[in-house]
Amino acid sequence: MSLELRFFATFREAVGTKTINREYDAATVGDVLVALESEFEGLAGEVLDDGAVQPQVNVLLNGRDVTHEQGIDTPIEPDDTVSVFPPVAGGTRAGA
């Protein structure tokens, strides 16, 4: 099935672009994430950990966080959009 995949910050750097369209033989978000970690060396081990999304990584399916759905078992449909956000480090407030 055809999916749009969006990457942000360091994950965008690892993939080399913000958005890609791919055909996957996948049924769940987890299937897609496994395929991405296999395809892009910079993502290997950065998205999944022990069968779940890494604690500080956010994965959205059509704008909804998959942790509020069925996690990596969330089913996908043709033309869905999967967005992957890496951990974000905090900064300091100006004047602090």
pLDDT in tens, 12-62: 999 999 999 999 899 999 999 999 999 999 999 999 999 899 989 999 999
| Distance separating alpha carbons of residues 35 and 95, to the nearest angstrom | 44
Biggest alpha carbon distance in the chain?
Answer: 51
Q: Per the structure, how many domains does the chain have? A: 1
Q: What is the pLDDT of residue 90?
A: 55
Structural domain for 57, as ranges: 2-85
In a domain, 95, yes or no: no
**CA–CA gap between residue 43 and residue 27 (Å, rounded):** 20
Mean pLDDT of 82-91: 82
- pLDDT value, residue 94: 56
Residue 96 has pLDDT above 60, yes or no: no
pTM: 0.88
Q: Report the alpha-carbon distance of residue 53 to residue 38 in Å, rounded.
A: 15
70 falls within a domain: yes
